[in-house]
Amino acid sequence: MRPRLAFARRRFYGRDMPLPSPDTLDPAQLASIMRWYLDMGVDCIVGDAPRDRFADCAAEQIKTPPARAEATARALPVRGDAEAPRAPLVAAAQNVPPPTPAALATDAATRTAAELAANAHDLDALRTAMDAFEGCALKRTASRLAFEDGARGARVMLVGEAPGADEDKQGKPFVGRAGQLLDRMLAAIGLDRSHVYIANVVPWRPPGNRAPTPQETAICLPFIHRQIALCDPDILVCLGASAMQTLLGVREGITRARGSWRDFHVEGVDGTRKTIRALATLHPAYLLRTPIAKRGAWADLRALKKAMEGP
């Protein structure tokens, strides 16, 4: 249980009341506690014992990047200084703190994902490889892989952030409320799921619908790159800021960056570098919360339709 949740639970019962144990509660009380957990956003169990993840994060936040950057800057020869003595540089390099175990684990998992992805020569092989992959912790809390929906080889590929609860149950991207709005958006320009291919950057549901961490995203990135290469669409549509930032490297916010055509670069299945036209638009889940933003999404859909009708 997260510490903040334990704190909320303590406040719920009062400071002096003993916390009830499941053995002393009747079914109605247990049901009411379960409802309370759900209201607090706890909708899956990830372990038997509480774990202070804030403390874990604090321990991991050894200031590796700034220290490394500084040491690297000191270790780089100054321009025109090629003959400068090397000894102080070696000393500076020795001061670089070693990468944390968590950073090493992320690197190793990302390398394994890249190898598996590169060896998958069709979408079925990629799915099988991802199903067998144990490098992303989200797999342990998700019910299943939500790999794809729509038509393989479609001219348009849509990519979202990560599955939610409905997607996790069905093992398909965009089948919940956001997905239903996506269907209506596609229908507005005469398309349905037989005309598009759909996936997510992260294919396993993060617990409680939280956003995937940068490490989880980095580990899954080789898989979505390969999935795009194997689908080989003419047009890639990033649904929401997260997919846009991850795939297109755009740092601006989605409300400013949406609607502009960009290039997405990927290594094709034949090993050559491919460029795919890409468009970022607002995430349907955001549109559900902010209907006024639909005007922008409609403009993007029209731009998509026009691009599909073009050469």
Q: Which residues bind ligand URA (CB under 6 A)?
A: 160-164, 167, 173-174, 176, 178, 200, 285
Q: Smallest distance, Å, CB 191 to ligand URA?
A: 17
Q: Is the dihedral of CA 195, 200, 204, 205 positive or negative?
A: negative
Closer to ligand URA by Cβ: residue 126 or 202: 202
- Residue 167 or residue 216: which is nearer to ligand URA going by CB? 167
Residue 1 vs 287, nearer CB to ligand URA: 287
Provide the phi-psi class of 100: left if phi over 0, else alpha when psi is between -120 and 50, else beta: beta
User: Looking at beta carbons only, is 106 or 148 nearer to ligand URA?
Assistant: 148
Nearer to ligand URA, 1 or 243 (CB): 243
What is the nearest approach in angstroms of ligand URA to the Cβ of residue 167? 4
> Least separation, in Å, of the C-beta of 301 and ligand URA?
17
Position with the least CB separation from ligand URA: 160
Q: Are 274 and 192 in contact (CB under 8 A)?
A: no
Closest separation in Å from C-beta 213 to ligand URA = 15
The radius of gyration computed from the CA coordinates of the chain, to the nearest angstrom, equals 23
Torsion of CA 211, 215, 218, 220, to 10 degrees: -70
- CB of residue 143 to ligand URA, shortest distance in Å: 14
What's the longest Cα–Cα distance across the chain? 80
